[in-house]
Amino acid sequence: QVQLQESGPGLVKPSETLSLTCTVSGGSIRNYYWSWIRQPPGKGLEWIGYLYYSGSTNYNPSLKSRVTISGDTSKNQFYLKLSSVTAADTAVYYCARTEYDILTGYYSDLWGQGTVVTVSS
Amino acid sequence: EIVMTQSPATLSVSPGERATLSCRASQSVSSKLAWYQQKPGQAPRLLIYGASTRATGIPARFSGSGSGTEFTLTISSLQSEDFAVYYCQQYNNWLAWTFGQGTKVEIK
């Protein structure tokens, strides 16, 4: 079955760029939307943005100036870059497959296990 | 941005009882709403989408209802594995998909 796995550095210095990869196995990234969501320690979920496999993107307005989501269909991977990080960006970062149905809208039906990213010097 | 407000913050329920969780949107999201369950140390799991459609493999004791600005997740008879945090998320505003702050369902 389709599985998602996040990977990347667990520690990033303030003002640097956080870079994460989500590898999709057991299926293709084509014909789906792919999202990034994060969860600060002890807090709720925050949607970061999504990528459609064709390349179109949509970002949370509060993060838009710092976020880039991209993908590589040949590698079945998609990526998150978040620039100029601060301690407030410390969180568990999840990647998720997001489906679209004309009647019911979007929904994220498959999630990775999450990866912890700490911003600290 | 559409603000999603969940209530109550914490719900204490005995096993076998019914649990009713609420989610309110600051403006209409039509039926573009999903519910997720999250247990400690785990990723969220999709329960309901389109406000009322159960996701694959979700037991029938979970049901969703509502449209516009008022939504409800009902767990008809709580099982031990249902004690968790539940989040709603709206997908109506394609500019920003926002989550509620969560409702923790704990054992009474």
Contact B50 A104 (CB under 8 A): yes
Shortest distance between the Cα of B105 and any Cα of chain A, in A, equals 15
pLDDT at residue number A105: 83
B22 in helix, strand or coil? strand
Q: What is the mean pLDDT of chain A?
A: 95
Integer CA distances (angstroms), B41 to A79, A92, A121, in order:
23, 10, 25
Reference B45, options B9, B106, B78, B86; nearest CA is B86
Give the helix/strand (H/E) hosting B90: strand B85-90
Q: Please determine, for residue B95, whether its predicted confidence score (pLDDT) is greater than 90.
A: no
Q: Which of the residue ranges A51-55, A78-82, B15-19 would you say has the lowest mean pLDDT? A: A51-55
More confident: A55 or B58: B58
Chain B residues within an 8 Å CB radius of A101: 49-50
pLDDT at residue number B53: 96
Q: Burial of B37 by CB count in 10 Å (0-12 exposed, 13-18 middle, 19+ buried)?
A: buried
CB atoms within 10 A of CB B24: 16
pLDDT at residue number B93: 64
pLDDT digits (tens, 9 = 90+) for A16-59: 999 999 999 999 999 899 999 999 999 999 999 999 988 899 99
Q: How far apart are the first and last CA of chain B?
A: 35
pLDDT at residue number B57: 96
pLDDT at residue number B89: 95
DSSP symbol at A31: T
Q: Are A29 and A95 in contact (CB under 8 A)?
A: no
Chain A residues within an 8 Å CB radius of B92: 105
The beta-carbon neighbor of B34 closest among A60, A107, A113 is A107
DSSP symbol at A106: E
Shortest distance between the Cα of B16 and any Cα of chain A, in A, equals 27
User: Dihedral of CA A17/A52/B40/B14: which sign?
Assistant: positive
